[in-house]
Amino acid sequence: MVANPTSQLSVIGNFVGAHAAIKMGWRETGACLFTLGLAHYMVVFITLYQRLSGCNHIPSRLRPVFFQFVATPSMAALAWKSINGSFDIQCKMLFFLSLFLFTSLASRPMLFKKSLKEFSVAWWAFSFPLTFLALASTAYAQQVKSVTAIALAAVLSAISVLVFLFLLVFSTIKIDVLLNNPILKFSSDSV
């Protein structure tokens, strides 16, 4: 009942933990965390993806969190690359899944139309997944070494940087909206 696209953050945490464990030389721990993340991802992905067209719609203001669908397979590709040592076929499949999810969300601008009418902190949910997608595309381009892959990595990296800069500037301009938010006001009053 309470599952939404932000539920994927704990799955991403498993993949980040696997990536970090491998970098520290803890191969068994990294493999274990990757396996747990993959099993958790299958359950969360199936549960959430089936709800997209159902009656349990997420409020329009929070729809940018749908981009979390992109971040999870991107980070999984990077974690598997750390475990395996190269961007092999499994990494490519995870990368192509994240690329497919990105294009399917980007090709549906009407899904985000209402959420972009008024500034919200939820807009930052666009930046995080795009960064992971750009990182995965860079790893893919380094492995494949084709002009198309390099161009894709450059375009996705540019989109990621531009979205981040836009959100940074827009958040600075709209800081009064953020400070007048009752949720944030409550937490700042209690401090």
DSSP codes, 56-121: -PPPGGGGGGGGHHHHHHHHHHHHHHHHHSS--HHHHHHHHHHHHHHHHHHT-GGGTTGGGSS--G
- What percent of the chain stands above pLDDT 70? 85
Q: Where do the structural domains in the chain lie, given as residue ranges?
A: 5-189
CA 118 to mean position of chain CA atoms: 22
Contacts of 29 (CB under 8 A, 6+ apart): 18, 21
pLDDT at 132 over 80: yes
Amino acid identity, position 45: F
Q: Which residue has the higher pLDDT, 11 or 5?
A: 11
Per-residue confidence at 149, pLDDT binned at 50, 70, 90?
very high
pTM given for the model: 0.81
Residue 101, CB half-sphere, CA atoms under 13 Å: how many? 24
Task: Tell me the per-residue pLDDT of 50-108, one tens digit each, with 9 for 90 and over.
Answer: 666 554 567 777 778 888 889 999 999 999 999 998 999 999 999 999 999 999 888 88
CATH classification code of 5-189: 1.50.10.150
pLDDT at 191 over 50: no
